[in-house]
Amino acid sequence: MLRNNRQNGLSVVIATAALFIATPASAFSVTAGGTAVYEQGLVSSVPDVVTMDFNSGLMPAGYTGGLVVTGNSVGNWASPPGDKSHYLVVGPASPAVISLGSLASYFGYYGGSPDSYNLLEFWNGATEVASFTGVQLAAAASTSPNGDQRFGAYWNFTAADSDEWFDTVKMISTQPAFETDNHAVLFAVEELPLQTFSVLSPVPEPQTYAMMLAGLGLMGFMAHRRRKIS
Ligand SMILES: [Ca+2]
Ligand SMILES: [Ca+2]
């Protein structure tokens, strides 16, 4: 009996551990959906984001790796559908590292021709907070990761809480290519703790003094009148 009970207890511990592994605390989410802009593909529909459209044709500050290109290069890259502007392409020779410079809670991009060998990673310093394979990215946009150049979507990535905020995004592709445009970021703003505000005793404004003086003057006038009448 004792032996059986101990075995049951062990089974429960193992089951609990398995449950923990199967459902990690992380709930970093990916969804598809954006807003169309003429000849630039889709942009983020999330309010107040900062957007990088690459339309200057130059590699933006904070970006390393990848290439800013337009149009198609057969066998190398293809512009996301409807996008005639500059965009970022990542191939096996040059994964892109995007240093945001501050913690963010949201990232989005317009992508085309999703491939199974694409990989997207979110980091906070040296800690990886989330990653998505090309297969997962395609599934989020209800398509196949087969590099279909007619397919484009806007992908949205949202941290569930402050533990999942990130300051770096990595775009990796072991084969040509990972094509994206209109990167959007929502920076996380931590609320200031209340103790940073000191309570000050109210000091009257100059206007208040003027009103007080006027009031005193009026009272003096009325007292004078009362004296005169009586
Ligand atoms: Ca662009
Ligand atoms: Ca592709």
Query: What pLDDT, on the 0 to 100 scale, is given for residue 66?
Result: 97
Which tokens hold the place of 180? 């994206």
Residue 155 Cα to ligand 1 middle (Å): 15
Tens digits of per-residue pLDDT, 140-188? 999 999 999 999 999 999 999 999 999 999 999 999 999 999 999 999 9
Confidence of residue 189 (pLDDT cuts 50, 70, 90): confident
Residue 34 pLDDT exceeds 80: yes
Closest CA to 112 of 60, 185, 34: 34
Supply the CATH classification number for the domain 21-187: 2.60.120
> What ligand has the least distance to the C-alpha of 56?
1
Ligand 2 mean position, distance from CA 29 (Å): 22
CA of 122 to the centre of ligand 2 (A): 20
Residue in this structure with the two tokens 């005639």, named with its chain if needed: 84
- Contact predicate 40/182, CB 8 Å: yes
Q: How far apart are CA 81 and CA 148, in angstroms?
A: 10
Expressed in angstroms and rounded, the spacing between residue 113 Cα and the centre of ligand 2 is 4
Q: In angstroms, what is the span from residue 188 Cα to ligand 1's centroid?
A: 24
Q: Is 0.75 surpassed by the pTM of this model?
A: no
Residue 26 or 98, more confident: 98
- Which value, in Å, is the radius of gyration of the alpha carbons in the chain? 30
Reported as a single tens digit per residue, the pLDDT across 79-120 is 999 999 999 999 999 899 999 999 999 999 999 999 999 999
Q: Which DSSP helix (H) or strand (E) runs through 127?
A: strand 127-133
- Around Cβ 116, how many Cβ atoms within 10 Å? 17
Helix (H) or strand (E) holding 178: strand 178-187
Other residues' Cβ atoms within 10 Å of the Cβ of residue 54: 23
228 compared with 103, residue with greater pLDDT: 103
For the chain, the domains span 21-187
